[in-house]
Chains A and B, each alone.
Chain A
Amino acid sequence: MSAKTADLELGKDLIGLEDLSREQVLGILDTAEPFKEISERQIKKVPVLRGQTIVNLFFEPSTRTRISFEFAEKRLGADTVNISSSGSSVQKGETLVDTARNLEAMRINMVVVRHGSAGAAGFLADRIPSNVINAGDGQHEHPTQGLLDLLTIRDRFGSIDGRRVCIVGDILHSRVARSNIWGLLKCGAEVAVCGPKTLIPKGIEELGVHVIPRVEEAIEWCDVLYVLRLQLERMDAGYVPSLREYNRVFGVSSERLAHASDEMVVLHPGPMNRGVEIDSDVADGPRSVILPQVTNGVAVRMAVLYLLSGGNPERAEAAKRGDA
């Protein structure tokens, strides 16, 4: 990615937050601000990407991320095509390179890609001239998720600088955790991770985070508790003995939150396993900003689409009015 730090030149693709500068991350968040309002209108559409073709290429099942992207694309006036792995030529053994080249041959403008293998989005980006947006590649990154989380934290606290954020749960298998770690550190937050040692990857401290062994301690320490989904298959693979025990030891309950600071908020990337990593009264309670995250997701994705398509961040306001 050819990213200049001085301005918001994002380059061709958005593969991960590790590759971005602090200015770029904050610039995307700033660009998202004016786009928030579009979704609040009666007629939720501006012609910024009119005539552009965007392919949502999903090799892994996804509901929320795909829908969020699709809303963002449609509200900017783009034409979209959804391809999911079931029923596509992918299942007939076509390689990722061939899939990409065939799409390219149909003259598209952008690809939003979700893939089960780390590095797949970058692999695609290096091989086609279209813009590529990573919608999650294996356990590597999920940059738009990271950005929407940052936006949600900034909305709540005014700034991310100096905030203490603890990510709780399955860090090992989480691309969301990785994108958040990079994004949060660049924006000046203090970052910790917490979870059973079986789900904390080796060498994580060297990324610049610290490890808190107990969730009680994490709750007392942080301003933002970011609760990750515990995939049910982790139990079968032996990372945790049972979901019940996970909930007992690491579950975020209102009793545990009694020791939190008054302003502390709870995030979750969804979909939630209520009663496993998070209890319902927390998910639906006053500290939860889980639904604002979802709302921000559309605005952040609009901002990313706009910027990658060549939009000027300073003209986002005008773009929103429809006269860009």
Chain B
Amino acid sequence: MSRPLLLVGGRTIDPSQFLDGPGDLLVRDGRIEALGQVTAVPEDAERVDVDGLVVAPGFIDLHVHLREPGDEHKETIRSGALAAVAGGFTTVWAMPNTDPPIDDPAAVGFVRAAGARAGGARVSPVGAASLALKGEQMTEVGELVAAGAVAVTDDGHPIWDGSLMRRLLEYTQTFGIPVVQHAEDPVLSAGGVMNEGTVATALGLRGIPNASEAAIVARDLYLAELTGGHLHVQHVSTREAVDLIESARSRGAHVTAEVTPHHLALTEEAVRGYRTEAKMNPPLRTEADRDALRSGLAEGVIDAIATDHAPHHYQGKEREFDDAPFGVVGLETALGVCMSELVQTGILSLSDMVDRLSCGPARIMGLEGGTLRPGSPADIVVFDPEERWTVDPAQFRSKSRNTPFAGRELRGRVRRTIVGGETRFLEPQEQPARSLTRAG
């Protein structure tokens, strides 16, 4: 194990313990040993001054696409896991829509093993909900869980068959995992490339109506109520879905939800000029939707911020809007976008932002991490809440550059990311001593 590490003089924010204040933090043997007034500091401890910086539980991203196997030119498990720690994430959930998809235990094992070797964030495989993501036959959910899957989804595609969705919500209860849904009616969305509305009308682009998301969310919520299963709604983009989730939860449905930084920051206006870097599914919506997402997040209707990190090669995005692929990268801009768009604007307190990025995801999924409580795994992010920086995609650790935030000045930057007690990202780029010795 590495030397003990003492973070001295930071502002410790841990919503899981209602903590926000000055304090030191001692990491030893991969776990958090002490917090606050640390009295017993081991002699060999490395002391790091984090004055002026925030020390928080490492971020957990419930929604990333790492593209391996199959599209390694866009991202690999390694490059994605390294991009994750650069963004302050200590755990990411890898979606199964790779080529081939992650629909059997061997594939789950591959993702786990490659994730463990990557030396970045912890990589948790999410298994396919149906074989080959076809939406027909349920995968061997129990086998996938035994191999390390943390949830099941057909993400990229919706689980469209209502009967399959019902069975999944029932069957997964044996294993205590959620059914993770990309909520979209593929028929209502057919051919759509952006939000349906005035901007699409002016640009002559085919629209995707809010109802396409809301209709499936409504159906799934009723199925969650019927079955008692855990439904997790991915990338909520509409005001209608926020309302539906809120009312179903008040009736006792076991539902959790996530929202992306880009849906919180941008609207359909970003598409003007046929900007393919603003093309994603679900699409950027209107200001009314964005405001509903922001207040839904602030009020806790939406539990988590997740990036839907979706790397694409520049050749894919450098083309006609209709033909460009959906999706944007998000791991390395998430903190800056959330700080600039949510905290600076007064929508979320710093502590609530940390909750939605760390504790919320851990709590709703019953994961380890998402806390600085002594004895917990030392998954920690240290960030400067004030630092201004300009997004330069060329600096990304991700292999892809498709971001709608290029050139934007953001506030808030990750300085150090610790996974299991080991510093896996450090900014400015002095290599941690341990990595240097390992490299030899």
| Chain A residues engaging chain B, CB cutoff 8 angstroms | 18, 95-97, 115-120, 122-123, 137-141, 175, 178, 201-204, 206-207
Contact = CB atoms under 8 A, between A and B. Distances in A.
A273 to B, nearest CB: 22
B203 A119 contact: yes
B167 interface: no
Contact of B319 (A96, A122, A137): A96
Contact of B200 (A18, A141, A175, A202): A202
Per DSSP, chain A at the interface is mixed
Given A118-B274, A202-B196, A202-B207, A207 B323 contact: no
B320 interface: yes
Given A122-B274, A123-B274, A203 B204 contact: no
28 contacts: A116-B322, A117-B320, A117-B321, A117-B322, A118-B203, A118-B205, A118-B274, A118-B322, A119-B203, A119-B205, A119-B274, A119-B321, A123-B319, A123-B320, A138-B204, A138-B322, A139-B205, A140-B204, A140-B205, A201-B200, A201-B201, A201-B207, A202-B198, A202-B207, A202-B209, A203-B197, A203-B199, A207-B201
Interface residues of B, number: 22
A140 B203 CA distance: 5
A96 B320 contact: yes
Nearest to B275: A119
Contacts of A140: 203-205
Contacts of A178: 202, 204
Interface of B: 196-207, 209, 273-274, 315, 318-323
Contact of A137 (B199, B202, B204, B273): B204
Given A117-B320, A204-B198, A207-B198, 16 more contacts: A95-B318, A95-B319, A115-B320, A117-B321, A117-B322, A117-B323, A119-B274, A119-B321, A123-B320, A139-B204, A140-B203, A178-B202, A178-B204, A201-B201, A202-B200, A204-B201
Contacts of B200: 201-203
Nearest to B207: A202
Given A202-B207, A203-B197, A120 B202 contact: no
A94 to B, nearest CB: 11
A97 B196 contact: no
B320 A203 contact: no
Contact of A118 (B197, B204, B209, B315): B204
Nearest to A201: B201
